[in-house]
A and B are shown apart, each in its own frame.
Chain A
Amino acid sequence: MLFRTLLIAAIIIVFYSLAKWQKLSVELSLLAATIGGALAGSIFSSPPPAEIPRHLVEGSFTYLDVILVFFTATLFITIIQKSGGVDFAVRRTVVRFYRARFLALFLLMVIVLIPGALTGAGSVSLLVVGTPVALALKGLGVEEEKIPAILFILAGLAAAAPPVNIWAMVLCAGTAIPYVGFELPLGLPVIILGTLTVVILGRRKGADEIDSFLEKITPHPGMNWLRLLLPFLVFFGLVLAYRVYPFNFPVLGLPLEFLIASLVALVLSPVRLNLIKVASETVSKLLPLLAIMVIVGMLQQILSASGVKGLISYSVLIIPLGLLFCLLPVIIPVSEGVLTYGGAAIIGIPLVWYLNSLGYHATIVISGLSLLWPLGDGLPPTALIGRLSVMVSGYQGKYWQFLKETWVPWLIITATGMLMIIFSAKLKFLVTG
């Protein structure tokens, strides 16, 4: 079985490489790899040839919910942007805070952390507040390539922050550990690491550019704080209402919450907007990202049906413990880059059981791992948060150039996560509840 699974894995890699060699996009290359894997697997009846179409269709629905959240959140922020709200917010924020630079950076960090912490999705942070924060950072004189780097790291930390951390929740659900006591093990490192990130990457580049920046930002005269903030208040109000009144408030789900907030933004916009046009522009803008989500789901399905997913999990588990600790900083982010949240299930669940059986504290281990997974959202093939960071910040440079800028916080976060895992037993005092 090992030989045939390795062979299927090799064929998947060959198909991906050939497609890239033919200069196909990441999405089409992944699709080619998926079909290659399915055909190779069908030689060994894993999956049987007649089952391939079913697997492809079923897999394409894996991330349907995430796709809906991406679309509706982007629609929301596009309406805010087109109504002049983003320009307005940035101008006011920069004018108010640019003299107290550290405070301004800290506040912007908190603004990015909140949506992701509430929803568990760094993408929501970027889609909701990414563009205005990017502009504010520019106004504060932060270097252009460092802006998406800051957004990427903060969005990742936002996703890891309590109260909602999807990696931790997936692991808790899979390992039958209650999702309690994560406030400090997740909250403390997120705040410290976020602050370090904005301090390290947010240094001023040369002279103050505030005047020339403000000249470029001319918000619509009809825009005001009420028109800008009300749609956000509606969105966060709906999110919080379920938290406060979980048994009386209906479950709306993030897509509908974003849609309601979008409609409020549309009504309050001082600029007349065509909803259909904005929605279709949003779909066009998001198409590569949505395509990736559909195809990664298909790929995961084929990897599982062919046994390659099991091989990945098995390979991690047979690594000796010392070597495993050395490799985790690579394995965990790469698993996220390939499988997104699937990595938490495939590698994370057996890993937590294994470490737990050796006396490591499960809650701290999960918290440490949760700091490493978001880093993988900048890695191909999916690079979800990385690509979104580039998109919302309007960065025009090369993708790898922006990613290179993240290396210092990346190392600090990796070291923090690994130390939490290795010394989890000594850090269990952080677990409350």
Chain B
Amino acid sequence: MKKVSSTFKITASAMVLALLVVGGWPLYRHRASSMEVVCGPGVTEILMLSDFLPDLRNTAADTPVFVLSGTEPGGSALIIGNTHANEPEGLLAAALIVENAVVKKGTLYVIPCFNRSASLNTRPGEGYPVYFSVETPWGKKKFRMGNRDASPLDQWPDPDVYIHFPEKQMLSYLDIRNTNRTWPGRHNGMPMEQVTFAAMELLRNHKVDLAIDLHGAETMFPVTNCIVAPEKSMRIATLAALTVKAVEGFESHVESSPEKFRGLSHREIGDYSDTLPFLLEAPIPFLDQPTGPKSEQLFLDGRDEFLLSLSRRKKLFVSYDESGWPLERRVGQHLSVSLEIIKQYSRRHPGRAIIVENVPRYSEVVEKGIGYYFQNPATAKKEKVITF
């Protein structure tokens, strides 16, 4: 074997060290960064998820729960964003609700960043940007791009196979850090099982009527652009889907929640509480495998030539043209479908009605942009700005 000189070894080691520092710094900054939400006029209380399971207190998994209570009693709904932190349409939709919604009747619970640990994680091997920004009238508002799974810095090691509680179904080892596979959770389980358990406690203790989990899915994934619902939520999901199509002109079909696939919010929330669960999927081209560079621009506008070509060959599960599938459409869909689910439920259960006002709907978000609805944290009252 060729002998390597000490000078070469020292030089190579110094270069690797320099690369680690220069390349590692942005990753460190990402984990140390915060996102901001300005409490809107409807926020009446701010809880933490750890209020429902104290073990989560002072951990990276703890996250704010915004409560928007109406002046009249009624039903209640939970809206969850960032279950998968690489599908941040849910985070944006939930944040818009917190900053704008006014609840007249009933109560809304909103968790914009459900898997906070995943939002502090990045996705090695996938080449994602670590942040994205949306234009607002007062400048750019920056958000963390996270990962599908919680950070190994917060939950590690993984088992060689993940066994779901309580059904004992075997799932991929990575899914033990995926908060859409750990429902209904365990109080003494792994941190992500504790996160879903705490959410179940919220649902059970506060007798929440509806739970809406906001996601994004690939355009090549059959379960995309849809509402996933178990049998008990099916009627309301169908009515909401039909209404948004007829009134607002966009498609969001209904998919049945499979009984044999465990750990998902749309399955376990329904099975382990009285709450009606719904999981909304908006098409997010950024997540598709056959795309060009994984850039911030692709995330924002959802435009990609490879996907366009595949669409012409009828290999996508959504309609797709040169306009792509911009973030405004994805967030707008989530807002409209969520509001419609709440409305349909309220019609059928007047005693448990929830009346929410001042939340922009699909056409408004598409026309004015998402940023139009965000308040400027710099000019807002300090106590109104919540970071996570």
Q: Do A and B come from one complex?
A: yes
A interface with B by C-beta (< 8 Å): 1-2, 5, 41, 44-47, 51, 53-62, 65, 118-120, 163-164, 166, 169-170, 172-173, 175-180, 239, 242-243, 246-247, 251-256, 297, 300-307, 309-311, 313-314, 317-318, 342, 345-347, 349-350, 353-354, 356-357, 433
Interface of chain B residues 295 through 327 with chain A (CB within 8 A): 295, 304-306, 309-310, 313, 315, 317
Q: Are A179 and B157 in contact (CB under 8 A)?
A: no
Which residues of chain B are near A60, meaning CB under 8 Å? 124
B351 within 8 A of A: no
- The answer to whether A53 and B172 touch across the interface, beta carbons within 8 angstroms, is no
Does A345 lie within 8 Å of B289, measured CB to CB?
A: yes
Chain A residues lying within 8 Å of B258, measured Cβ to Cβ, are 178
Q: A47-B293, A51-B129 are in contact. List 11 more A-B contacts (CB 8 A).
A: A51-B26, A56-B19, A119-B160, A163-B161, A169-B173, A177-B261, A242-B160, A243-B161, A246-B165, A253-B160, A350-B220
Contact flag A41-B173 (CB < 8 Å), given A176-B223, A246-B165, A251-B157: no
Given contacts A46-B292, A56-B19, A317-B315, contact A176 B221 (CB under 8 A): yes
Give chain B nearest CB distance to A283 CB in angstroms. Answer: 16
A166 to B190, CA, bound (A): 21
Knowing A1-B305, A65-B158 are in contact, say whether A304-B125 is a contact too (CB < 8 A). Answer: yes
Convert B1-30 into 0s and 1s, putting 1 for each residue whose CB lies closer than 8 angstroms to a CB of A: 000000000000000000110111011000
Knowing A46-B292, A251-B158, the reply to whether A242 touches B260 (Cβ < 8 A) is: no
CB of B125 within 8 A of CB of A350, answer: no
Q: How far is the CA of A301 from the CA of B261 in the complex (A)?
A: 31
Whether A350 contacts B156 in the complex (CB less than 8 A), given A58-B27, A59-B124, comes out as no
Q: Point out the residue from B23, B130, B158, B220 that lies within 8 Å of A253, measured CB to CB.
A: B158
- Interface secondary structure of B, over-half rule: loop
> Which chain B residues numbered 160 to 192 have a C-beta less than 8 Å away from chain A?
160-161, 163, 165-166, 168-176, 178, 186, 189-190
Which B residues fall within an 8 A CB radius of A?
Answer: 19-20, 22-24, 26-27, 122, 124-130, 156-161, 163, 165-166, 168-176, 178, 186, 189-190, 220-223, 258, 260-262, 288-295, 304-306, 309-310, 313, 315, 317
Complex formed: what's the CA distance from A239 to B163 in Å?
A: 13
> Which residues of B have CB within 8 Å of A253?
156-160
Question: Which residues of B lie under 8 Å from residue A313 when comparing CB positions?
Answer: 289-290
In whole angstroms, how far apart are the Cα atoms of A163 and B162 in the complex?
12
Q: Which residues of B contact A47 (CB under 8 A)?
A: 127, 293
Among B20, B23, B122, B178, which residue has the most Cβ atoms of chain A within 10 A? B23
Nearest to B190 among chain A residues (CB) is A251
Q: Is the CB of A54 within 8 A of B23?
A: yes
Given A297-B124, A310-B290, A310-B291, A353-B169 contact (CB < 8 Å): no
How far, in angstroms, from A232 to B87 measured CA to CA in the complex? 43
Contacts of A120 in B (CB 8 A): 160-161
Choice from A61, A173, A247 contacting B171 with Cβ under 8 Å: A173
Question: Which B residues touch A54, using CB under 8 A?
Answer: 23-24, 26-27, 130
List, in ascending order, chain A residues with CB within 8 A of B260's CB.
178, 180, 433
Give the residues in chain A near B223, CB-CB below 8 Å: 176
* Docked complex Cα distance between A307 and B286 (Å): 11
Which residues from chain B contact A300 at a C-beta distance below 8 Å? Answer: 125-127
Of the candidates A59, A177, A256, A301, which one forms a contact with B157 in the assembled complex, judged by CB atoms under 8 Å apart? A256
B305 CB to closest chain A CB (Å) equals 5
Q: Which listed residue (A57, A62, A247, A304) contacts B165, Cβ 8 A? A: A247
Contacts of A53 in B (CB 8 A): 19, 22-23
Are B221 and A307 touching (Cβ within 8 A)?
Answer: no
Query: Could you tell me if A169 and B222 are in contact, using CB atoms closer than 8 angstroms?
Result: no
In the bound complex, residues from chain A placing their C-beta under 8 Å from that of B261 are 176-178
Supposing A46-B293, A176-B261, A301-B127 touch, asked if A55 and B159 sit within 8 A by C-beta, the answer is no
**The 4 A-B residue pairs with the shortest CB-CB distance in the complex, in nearest-first order:** A253-B157, A57-B23, A305-B127, A304-B127
CB distance from A113 to the nearest CB of B (A): 16
Q: Known contacts A239-B160, A307-B292: does B170 contact A163 (CB below 8 Å)? A: yes
Please, how many angstroms separate the alpha-carbon atoms of A225 and B97 in the complex? 66
B128 to chain A, nearest CB (A): 8
| Chain A residues within 8 Å of B304, by CB | 1, 310
Number of cross-chain contacts by CB at 8 Å: 188
The answer on a CB contact under 8 Å between A353 and B172 is no
Q: Which residues of A contact B163 (CB under 8 A)?
A: 242-243, 246-247
Which of B126, B175, B313, B315 is the most central at the interface, judged by chain A CB atoms within 10 Å of its CB?
A: B126
Shortest CB distance A279–B (Å): 19
Contact of B293 among A56, A305, A354 (CB under 8 A): A305
Q: Of all chain A residues, which has the CB nearest B160? A: A119
Can you spell out 17 A-B residue pairs with CB atoms less than 8 angstroms apart? A1-B304, A47-B293, A120-B160, A173-B171, A180-B169, A242-B163, A246-B163, A247-B189, A253-B156, A301-B126, A302-B127, A304-B126, A305-B294, A307-B294, A313-B290, A318-B309, A350-B289
The A interface, classified by DSSP as helix, strand, loop or mixed, is: helix
Nearest chain B residue, comparing its CB with the CB of A173: B172
Q: In the complex, which residues of chain B have a beta carbon less than 8 angstroms from the beta carbon of A301? A: 124-127
Q: Report the bound CA distance from A61 to B157 in whole Å.
A: 15
Among residues of A, the one whose C-beta sits closest to the C-beta of B30 is A54
- Other-chain contact of A55, B23, B190, B262, B310 (Cβ < 8 Å): B23
A175 to B222, CA, bound (A): 9
Give the docked Cα–Cα distance between A297 and B291 (Å). Answer: 19
B313 touches A357 (CB 8 A): no
Residues of A with C-beta under 8 A to B158: 65, 251, 253
What residue in chain B is nearest A346 (Cβ atoms)? B289
Complexed CA–CA distance, A307 and B159 (Å): 32
**A311 pairs with B306, CB closer than 8 A:** yes
Neighbouring B residues of A252 by C-beta, 8 Å: 157, 159
Residue in A41, A56, A57, A254 whose beta carbon sits within 8 Å of that of B160 in the complex: A254
Nearest-CB distance from B276 to chain A (Å)? 21
Out of A5, A177, A353, name the residue touching B292 (CB < 8 Å). A5
- Given the contacts A306-B293, A310-B306, A357-B222, A178 and B169 also touching, CB distance less than 8 Å: yes
**A353-B220 CB under 8 A given contacts A53-B23, A55-B23:** yes
Closest to B217 in A: A176
**How far, in Å, is B269 (CB) from chain A's closest CB?**
17
Inter-subunit contact A353/B24 (CB<8 Å): no
Chain A residues whose C-beta falls within 8 Å of the C-beta of B295 in the assembled complex: 45-46
* B124 A58 Cβ-Cβ under 8 A: yes
Most A Cβ at <10 Å: residue of B165, B168, B171: B171
Q: Within the assembled complex, what's the spacing in Å between the Cα atoms of A313 and B220?
A: 12
Instruction: Provide the bound-state CA to CA distance between A176 and B168, in Å.
Output: 17
Closest chain-A Cβ to B300's Cβ sits at a distance in Å of: 15
**Nearest CB of chain B from residue A290's CB, rounded to whole Å:** 14
Most chain A beta-carbon contacts within 10 A, residue among B122, B159, B291 = B159
Given contacts A246-B165, A354-B315, contact A317 B125 (CB under 8 A): no
Q: Which residues of A contact B176 (CB under 8 A)?
A: 251
Q: Which of B125, B165, B175, B220 contacts A297 (CB 8 A)?
A: B125
Chain A: minimal CB distance from B214 (Å): 16
Give min CB distance, A23 to chain B, whole Å: 10
- Are B23 and A118 in contact (CB-based, < 8 A)? no
Q: Provide the bound-state CA to CA distance between A323 and B355, in Å.
A: 56
